[in-house]
């Protein structure tokens, strides 16, 4: 076990709950650490139900294409915890991570604090000690009481999308969830608002007015769309004619638009149209309609089959995934086989429903090592209840082998970022972090 994994395992025991939304504990430990949150590079703070990670990836690629440096903080990790803390172009080194975690553990003095809070404090220490042009900061859960929401004056904020997810923490209605996510808005700080239901947008506009935050709203103040194989972005400063994004799926047009609107809000003359174009073409983000090639799992497939991976896990993700898969099928007619695993904290039937008409075959599995994983047999029953044939498999490799035994097809593994981590580790022959997936918010 890596030294950092041993420390992270200890940190899990500091609070009886994995999630306990509050800022009190975060403010306490940051004060003891000398307030690293006040010494960060200019912060781009991003919240949303879906699209946060892809928007982060586009922003980083565009900033780097301009010759600038950007730190990134994201969650959860897929294979190794180090993925959460990117210092410029590199993931944090094991020795640096272990030292920071020990420093935070000592400063906390054994007091109650959640895993996400204390590891976010460690990330802030790393970012405060390493110069960069920007820090792109992804909200962990919600916004108002998220551990990242201790930044008094970010350079810009964004809410990428809104949907029903994490209702047990954020509220049962879209308006309540919008209010929680709008908690990252700050007086005088420009905020980019992505496409979302009208009631969500109205709730954010109301919160922004109270906070004194100027909004740039998709479809009103800026717009983005595909036209003749190009991405077109338009706002009050003009029109950009750009290449399509490297990240696949029609929904990535909107995520790219969020990122472009954010960078325009920065009003940084160093980030021009050329950098935005290069960033669109070079952005990478794992487990978002990712084609797997050249690894252990993909080697199990016959030559004409394809292996894909997506970590989307809620109803809205099911819709955008279905749209993307439909577009792919229209181009090549390749049948779709789904390999599906999910956690019981999500609505499995609502996620699968948009995909039901597309799949010629469904293979279910229980996500390995996850106490909250829905059993494969229960997922198969959900599939059958929607009129689709299903079979259960024992583990990731067995599921892929079963899928490969049929006619050549596009095989998509989907339903959970935690499942995606196991898939990437198996494909790459990499050992996963010892930290439980349940703690990996």
HEC string for 56-74: HHHHHHHHHHCCCCEEEEC
What is the model's pLDDT at position 289?
92
- Say which residue, 388 or 230, is predicted with more confidence: 230
- Of residues 432 and 97, the one with the higher pLDDT is 97
> Residues 6 or more apart from 95 whose CB is under 8 A from it?
none
> Would you place residue 234 in the very low, low, confident or very high pLDDT band (cuts 50, 70, 90)?
very high
Q: What is the pLDDT of residue 431?
A: 85
The share of the chain scoring above pLDDT 70, in percent, equals 96
Q: Residue 409: what pLDDT?
A: 87
Q: Which one, of 376, 358, 377, 357, lies nearest residue 368 by Cα?
A: 376
Mean pLDDT of 357-363: 93
Q: Between vectors from CA 192 to CA 188 and to CA 198, what angle results, nearest 5°? A: 115
Average pLDDT, the chain: 92
Q: What is the mean pLDDT of residues 214-227?
A: 97
Span of 61-65, 163-167, 378-382 with lowest mean pLDDT: 163-167
CB crowding 9-48: b at 16 or more within 10 Å, else e: bebeebbeeebebebebbebbbeebeebbeebbebbbbbb
pTM: 0.92
pLDDT at 166 over 90: no
Closest CA to 126 of 163, 101, 158: 101
pLDDT tens digit sequence for 266-290:
999 999 999 999 999 999 999 999 9
What is the mean predicted confidence (pLDDT) over 402-421? 91
Residue pair 143/182 in contact by the 8 Å Cβ criterion: yes
Residue 54: exposure state from Cβ atoms within 10 A (0-12, 13-18, ≥19) = buried
DSSP SS3 for 322: helix
Q: DSSP secondary-structure letter at 81? A: G
- Is the pLDDT at 436 greater than 70? The verdict is no
Least Cα distance to 300 among 384, 220, 403 occurs for 403
Distance CA 28, CA 124 (A): 14
**Whether the Cβ atoms of residue 223 and residue 257 lie closer than 8 Å to each other:** yes
**Strand 191-193 versus strand 85-87 pairing type:** unpaired
Which runs of consecutive H residues, i.e. helices, occur in 91-148? Answer: 94-108, 115-129
Q: 6-34, pLDDT tens digit by residue?
A: 999 999 989 877 777 789 999 999 999 99
Burial of 194 (0-12, 13-18, 19+ CB in 10 A): buried
Residue 176 pLDDT level (bands cut at 50, 70, 90): confident
Average pLDDT over residues 331-346: 92
Beta pairing class for 70-73 and 222-227: unpaired
Q: What whole-number percentage of the chain has pLDDT above 90?
A: 78
CB 182 within 8 A of CB 203: yes
Three-class DSSP category at 290: strand
Identify the residue with better confidence: 37 or 250: 37
pLDDT of 438: 45
| CB count in 10 Å sphere of residue 413 | 31
Q: Is 5 left (phi over 0), alpha (psi -120 to 50) or beta?
A: alpha
Please state, as a whole number, how many other Cβ atoms lie within 10 Å of the Cβ of residue 249: 21
For residue 45, the Cα-to-chain-centroid distance in whole angstroms is 13
* b/e per residue 116-139 (b: at least 16 CB within 10 A): bbbbbbbbbbbbbeeebbbbbbbb
What per-residue confidence (pLDDT) applies to 172? 64
pLDDT-derived band of residue 317, with 50, 70 and 90 as boundaries?
confident
Torsion of CA 288, 230, 225, 213, to 10 degrees: 80
Between residues 168 and 120, the one the model is more confident about: 120
């Amino acid at each position: 076990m890596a030294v950092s994994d041993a420390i992270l395992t200890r940190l899990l025991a500091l609070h009886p709950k994995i999630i306990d939304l509050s800022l009190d504990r975060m403010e306490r430990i940051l004060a003891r650490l000398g307030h690293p949150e006040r010494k960060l590079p200019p912060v781009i703070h991003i919240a949303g139900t879906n699209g946060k990670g892809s928007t982060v990836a586009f922003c980083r690629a565009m900033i780097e294409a301009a010759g600038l440096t950007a730190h990134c903080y994201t969650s959860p990790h897929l294979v190794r915890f180090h993925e959460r803390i990117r210092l410029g172009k590199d993931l944090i080194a094991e020795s640096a991570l272990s030292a920071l975690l020990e420093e935070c553990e000592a400063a906390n003095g054994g007091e109650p604090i959640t895993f996400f809070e204390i590891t976010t404090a460690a990330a802030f220490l790393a970012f405060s000690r390493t110069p960069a042009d920007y820090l792109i900061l992804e909200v962990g859960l919600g916004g108002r009481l998220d551990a990242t929401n201790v930044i008094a004056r970010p350079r810009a904020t964004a809410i990428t999308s809104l949907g029903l997810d994490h209702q047990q923490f954020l509220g049962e209605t879209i308006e309540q969830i919008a209010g929680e996510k709008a908690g990252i808005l700050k007086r005088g700080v420009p905020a980019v608002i992505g496409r979302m239901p009208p009631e969500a947008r109205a709730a954010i506009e109301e919160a922004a007015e109270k906070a004194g935050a100027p909004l740039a709203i998709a479809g009103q103040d800026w717009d983005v769309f595909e036209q003749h194989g190009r991405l077109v972005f338009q706002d009050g400063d003009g029109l950009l004619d750009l290449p399509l994004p490297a990240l696949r799926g029609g929904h990535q047009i909107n995520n790219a638009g969020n990122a472009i609107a954010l960078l325009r809000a920065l009003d940084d003359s160093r980030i021009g149209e050329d950098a935005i174009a290069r960033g669109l073409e070079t952005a990478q983000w794992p487990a978002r309609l990712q084609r797997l090639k050249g690894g252990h799992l993909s080697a199990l497939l016959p030559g004409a089959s394809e292996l894909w991976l997506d970590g989307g896990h809620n109803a809205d993700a099911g819709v955008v995934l279905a749209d993307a898969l439909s577009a792919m099928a229209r181009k090549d007619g390749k049948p779709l086989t789904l390999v599906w695993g999910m956690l019981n904290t999500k609505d499995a039937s609502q996620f699968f429903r948009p995909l039901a008409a597309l799949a010629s075959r469904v293979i279910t599995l229980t996500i390995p090592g996850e106490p909250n994983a829905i059993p494969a047999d229960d997922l198969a029953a959900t599939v059958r209840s929607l009129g689709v044939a299903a079979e259960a498999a024992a583990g990731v490799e067995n599921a892929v082998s079963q899928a490969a035994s049929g006619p050549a097809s596009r095989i998509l593994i989907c339903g959970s970022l935690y499942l995606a981590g196991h898939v990437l580790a198996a494909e790459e022959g990499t050992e996963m972090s010892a930290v439980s997936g349940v703690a990996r918010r």
